Amino acid sequence: MKTEILRKYAELIARCGLNVQEGQEVMITADLDQPEFVTMCVEECYRAGAKKVIVDWVHQKVTKLHYENQSLETLSHLEKWQLERWQWQTEQLPCKLFIESDDPDGLAGIDQEKVSNARQKWFPLIKPYRDKMENRYSWCIAAVPGKAWAKKVFPELSEESAVEALWDAILKTSRALEGEPLENWKEHNADLKRRYDYLNALKLRSLHYESANGTNLTVGLIDGCNFLGGGETTMGGQFFNPNIPSEEIFTTPRAGEAEGIVYATKPLSYQGQLIENFWIRFEDGRAVEVGAEKNEALLRKMISMDDGAAKLGECALIPYDSPINNTGILFFNTLFDENASCHLALGHGFSNLLEGFENLTMEECYARGINDSMIHVDFMIGSSDLNITGTTSTGATVPIFRNGAWAF
């Protein structure tokens, strides 16, 4: 890929994704396989005014070795310096950039039970820090094509051509291949805003999903909880774009209010393994029954990670005719696949969607119906015949989606 195009993509990530402000610190988590692009991101963060940029290099193959060789006790333990680093984050509130390039099934074969059990042990240790930081810092997830990932998406191409093809797909869907990326995003954000302003004015209380594949699900919404899309604003007033790309308009449903059954329309990559052809049945807001053709045990484990893991944390609306879906590519990566299709997420909800969230504690947000969990996992439910109907506070019904597309 041409250097000047990559440079603009890095600039987009620093200025529109994170929106780094003069004097801020930045933390970047990235795999070792893309040193050139990460270097460009570091440079662009400094150019945007960053005081200090820290890169946390990771490597999926090393991560796998850790899971295979460390005991559950060692995996569950956090050193004092690790907790101190979390404490530092709550004080400095660095912008956090996550650059994804992982092989979608690069962790296949590891002991999932051990990984999940370890997470259940270390998560409570970091939760107080995480709660303290929530909605106070800007963050962004963007992607670069790792070699194994590119081969998974384009198995018929040589490694080099596959990487180039995935770069093309990433940049095109991220609105960073043509024109001026920063301008493209200004327009895109304005477009999404027009739609969610309309949805927020409806004061919806529930959404009903229906599709010929068997999906028939009603999800309760929270009074005074908004729809949002594209950019978000921290409590300190910093506007940022957490996902590049992003096509969704989403809200957080009321934890404990979901009834019916929903069928996934794309495989789900979870902890480096694919869960395929699955469905989930909800009762009183909880996933009470699941089925999957592949990795059903992993799905079952996922919804039992903690109390909130069986409840919904997100309803996202994306037309079936989205730019990402129109590429015809299955990315095997949530950042892209979630933007190709209407989806739901199990787990943690978005407290910043509550009106007046700036003045609420996390406990108060949870009490209002925001789900609390250590997981937040999106799964795709969009189809070309999906209908979504909203019910307002006065009991009126409003078509939101008809045949997989916006009804307004």
Residues lying near Zn ion in the complex (CB under 5 A): 316, 338
Phi, psi angle pair for 56, to nearest 5° = -100, 95
Minimum distance between the CB of residue 289 and Zn ion, rounded to whole angstroms? 24
Q: Which residue in 330, 395, 403, 374 sits closest to 149, CA to CA?
A: 330
Of all residues in the shown chain, the one whose CB is closest to Zn ion is 316
Going through 168-227 in order, the beta strands assigned E by DSSP cover 204-210, 216-221
| Residue indicated by tokens 């009903």 | 208
Minimum distance between the CB of residue 396 and Zn ion, rounded to whole angstroms? 27
For the chain, how many residues are written?
A: 408
Select 10 or 303, whichever has its Cβ closest to Zn ion.
303
Select 67 or 379, whichever has its Cβ closest to Zn ion.
379
Amino acid of residue 157: L
Task: Report how far residue 168's alpha carbon sits from residue 387's, in angstroms, rounded to the nearest whole number.
Answer: 32
Select 146 or 229, whichever has its Cβ closest to Zn ion.
229
Minimum distance between the CB of residue 246 and Zn ion, rounded to whole angstroms? 8
On the 0-12 / 13-18 / 19+ scale of CB atoms within 10 A, 221 is buried
Task: Report how far residue 101's alpha carbon sits from residue 40's, in angstroms, rounded to the nearest whole number.
Answer: 16
Minimum distance between the CB of residue 11 and Zn ion, rounded to whole angstroms? 25
Select 285 or 349, whichever has its Cβ closest to Zn ion.
349
Amino acid of residue 377: V
Q: What is the dihedral of CA 94, 338, 230, 216, to 10 degrees?
A: -130
Minimum distance between the CB of residue 377 and Zn ion, rounded to whole angstroms? 10
Minimum distance between the CB of residue 93 and Zn ion, rounded to whole angstroms? 23
Select 38 or 345, whichever has its Cβ closest to Zn ion.
345
Give the list of residues 6+ apart from residue 408 with CB closer than 8 angstroms, or none: 198, 399, 400
Select 24 or 215, whichever has its Cβ closest to Zn ion.
215
Minimum distance between the CB of residue 378 and Zn ion, rounded to whole angstroms? 5
Select 257 or 338, whichever has its Cβ closest to Zn ion.
338
Task: Provide the β-strand partners of residue 58.
Answer: 31
What kind and span of H or E run contains 202? helix 181-202
Give the list of residues 6+ apart from residue 174 with CB closer than 8 angstroms, or none: 9, 12, 142, 181, 244, 245
Select 53 or 340, whichever has its Cβ closest to Zn ion.
340
Whether cis (ω within 30° of 0) applies to the bond prior to 181 is no
Select 207 or 316, whichever has its Cβ closest to Zn ion.
316
Q: Where are the alpha helices (DSSP H) in 262-393?
A: 296-302, 323-326, 334-337, 362-367
Minimum distance between the CB of residue 345 and Zn ion, rounded to whole angstroms? 6
Minimum distance between the CB of residue 243 and Zn ion, rounded to whole angstroms? 8
For CA atoms 340, 344, 350, 354, give the dihedral sign.
Answer: positive
